[in-house]
Structure 1
Amino acid sequence: MPGAAARVRSAVAGRISLLRSGRGPDGGVRHQGSQDGPRRDGEANANAYAKARQTRRGHPAPASAAGMAAADTGPAGAPTSAAAGGWTSPRTLAVWGPVGSPGRTTVAINLAAELAAQGSRVMLVDADSYGASVAASLGLLDESASFAQACRVADQGMLTAAELGRICTEVVFAGGTFSLLTGLTRSDRWPELRAAAVERVLQTALTMVDTVVIDCGFCLETDEELSYDTVAPRRNAATLTALGQADTIYAVGSADAIGLPRLIRALADLPEACAGADVQVVVNKVRKRAVGGTPLKALEQAWERFGPALPISHALPWDADVTARALLEGRLLQELAPDAPLRRAIRELCCAPVQTKQKTVVLNATARPGNTG
């Protein structure tokens, strides 16, 4: 695929195997490497995560000299989280939506890239147990399912920040870098994503980066555990755990006669999975042909008629040509079409009002996954 090449480094033996090499349309080489994040042992991970969760839920964490020093500096001279995005503690963003391909993955990967371009340390996690597609969307040849690999290590009680850093893929582009945990290569591997292991992986990730962005699956059902007398394997455990850990949830739905009712019905089940999270409704693929001559007004009227409790927070325009090219070339919107309305709309999801006025110019990009499992 143009614009992408992959080198994967083994996390277990440190063995390097070349998967793919090549140059992008702009001459930039996509390559892969390891994650250079702070390295802490398991006890430090748990303490840092506890402090982060206390701060995010409105309870100030106890201050310490080491903690203040860590908050003022980042790895490799990276800006602090407060300077980059206006927040003062690690946060988790979940991108979720109902069945029907409303655009969850497109929003998730470009949201992670926009945050990274602002100077934030970001980790993107593909937690979709039905149809993981982040690696393919970025043009990476990945057969390791690094998220499942991290969950297996967490099940063994051996997951540390250093180990997770070796498992991660690092996606590098002209605007910055972000870490990536790739999704399942086969849908029948979903039992590897146990709820407890997923939670440990997300907790460890928060000790390494400022923001964790999770591409979630669509299904919120928990009925499968009712047929078991013991702890049951749950296919939706990764999604439910991710939503339960999220500080902000972007609920993405398609702006058409089918997608909008699906989103409204699914939102009725969402509060049970994400108590305390900030839910923002994102209506994607807004176009005149689907909703009428004045699409935004028509969407507002339809939304009021159905009567959901949450208002529409963001509307993303439909840009079939740009998204098709981005998927074909495995590139990000900000590098392929930095001035496209869709790219600007996604940037507004994560930017403070003053930051939305800034222009982020990206000329080319490289992507570098880091590991076979």
Structure 2
Amino acid sequence: MSIPVVTVGDSREDLVGRLERLHGPVSVVRRCNELAELLAACQGGLARAAVVAEGSAELTASLVDRLSAVGVAVLALTDSPEETLRLQGIGVASELTGVDAAALASRITASVAQLAGADPWLRQGASNPRLADEGPAPGPSGAATAEGMEGAGAGRIIAVWGPAGSPGRTMLAANMAAELAAEGKSVLLVDADSYGASVAAMLGLLDESAGLAQACRLADQGLLDAAALLRIAVPVATRAGTFRVLTGITRADRWTELRAAALSLVLARAREVMEVIVIDTGFCLESDEELSFDVMAPRRNAATLRSLELADTVFAVGAADSIGVPRLVRGLAELETAVPNSSPRVVLNKVRPSAVGRSPERQLRDAWERYGPTVPLGSFLPADPAAADAALLAGSLLLEAAPDSALRRGIAALVCAPVQRNGGSSVFSSTAKRWLKG
């Protein structure tokens, strides 16, 4: 049975004619005038392959993601080496415009078989881009995702998640990044909260350019290289080290700019130039948004879900009080459903006797073992409002505003020892240094 193909461009019908004269493996079922028409035809189940003979510059990672989601392989024709490289970066196969019909048909067949056998995004170092965009589905996470990203670089991803109610996600993520940088690691802090991005405000940054949205935009177009990523990421210098920040969206209604496919490419690029990427995620894990959106529409929580899917380590933080702990328990159950095998490290923040009673850590641990989920309780961070407020007021971090505080020491103990195995002693990795010099 021949493979149904839709095409766009090549008005002289040379492409269609060449394929049709084969009378074999492929059959052109529609000739489209523009990519929008091609997308509509593919979403209608008309084809299993799309050949873009003209206008390949309009192809983006998000568009390819949407076509892959409905089982359509994409092949573009171009004679430009630069365009070929760009297309490869967004997961599109390419051939020369004058390719022989038999060779073109063979390439189409191979692309379709490749898409059916293994998602091309997995081979690029990202988990399935449809998981966060199409609702709940089992997919790789944690160590499994790390194995799938071997080709993307040695950098490790730490995601900081927590339920609603200000448990301290941003505070923890920002100070983790600072502590890792103080240890000599090259660190990128990413604000992927699509509801209330606040990393820039916490660090006293006046940047209003939404660095993560910029990086996603370039990645979507296949134009994000290491140099561009380092230009967009804002450097934050402390007396102990320097790290870079991709600031979050400046308004909550800009969440559509954080597409899962583009974010996957941003994180894959970050792995190549940074030793550690720390992500401040949003709280919401809902993925069945088809109730309010068309199936192929962008997903509000795609950035959070994708970050958790790709993370090597997930820290789940909750407030240590009678409201925060039940919220965390329920949230962990949602996390297990949304991102299977995430194996989060549970952190209880704001631990204080006034909210729990005498010997708060012992009481919290006893209650967790008795009523909590199967996920073990990992660490405790003490309530230290004076230190936290001093850092927030100064727009700085605990290692500067309150270096001797118990809260600062607790955060440092969470991340510094486990990441020692990554090695390296420079503030930036050798790759990042090379790009900065160039």
Interval containing the TM-score (normalised by the shorter chain): 0.7 to 0.9
8 A contact 2:390–2:402 mirrored in 1: no
- Given the alignment, which residue of 100, 124, 136 partners 2:201? 136
After the TM superposition, which residues 9-158 of structure 1 pair with which residues of structure 2 at under 5 Å, given as runs?
Answer: 50=125, 57=146, 89-158=154-223
Aligned length: 291
In 2, the alpha carbon distance for the partners of 1:354 and 1:94 equals 14
One-letter amino acid of the counterpart of residue 302, structure 1? A
TM-score by length of 2: 0.62
Distance 1:59 1:124, change over 3 A: closer
Identity in percent: 56
One-letter amino acid of the counterpart of residue 201, structure 2? A
8 A contact 1:93–1:212 mirrored in 2: yes
After the TM superposition, which residues 158-307 of structure 1 pair with which residues of structure 2 at under 5 Å, given as runs?
Answer: 158-307=223-372
Distance 1:272 1:55, change over 3 A: closer
CA drift at 1:58: 5.2
Does 1 or 2 have the higher relative contact order (CA < 8 Å, sep 6+)? Answer: 1
8 A contact 2:145–2:311 mirrored in 1: no
Equivalent in the alignment of 2:81: none
One-letter amino acid of the counterpart of residue 189, structure 2? L
CA drift at 1:55: 9.7
Q: Deviations over 1:263-314 (max 9, x none)?
A: 0000001123333434100000000000001100110122123231111111
Equivalent in the alignment of 2:395: 330
SS of alignment partner, residue 207 of structure 1:
helix
Equivalent in the alignment of 2:383: 318
Equivalent in the alignment of 1:36: none
8 A contact 1:253–1:263 mirrored in 2: yes
In 1, the alpha carbon distance for the partners of 2:149 and 2:304 equals 28
Q: Deviations over 1:96-155 (max 9, x none)?
A: 000000000000000001111111111000000010000000011121111111111112
8 A contact 1:93–1:211 mirrored in 2: yes
SS of alignment partner, residue 344 of structure 2:
strand
One-letter amino acid of the counterpart of residue 185, structure 2? S
Distance 1:44 1:161, change over 3 A: farther
CA drift at 1:226: 4.1
In 2, the alpha carbon distance for the partners of 1:59 and 1:260 equals 34
Aligned Cα RMSD in Å? Answer: 2.8
One-letter amino acid of the counterpart of residue 136, structure 1? A
In 2, the alpha carbon distance for the partners of 1:320 and 1:244 equals 32
In 2, the alpha carbon distance for the partners of 1:121 and 1:268 equals 33
8 A contact 1:56–1:91 mirrored in 2: no
TM-score by length of 1: 0.72
Distance 1:158 1:342, change over 3 A: same
8 A contact 1:120–1:211 mirrored in 2: yes
CA drift at 1:45: 11
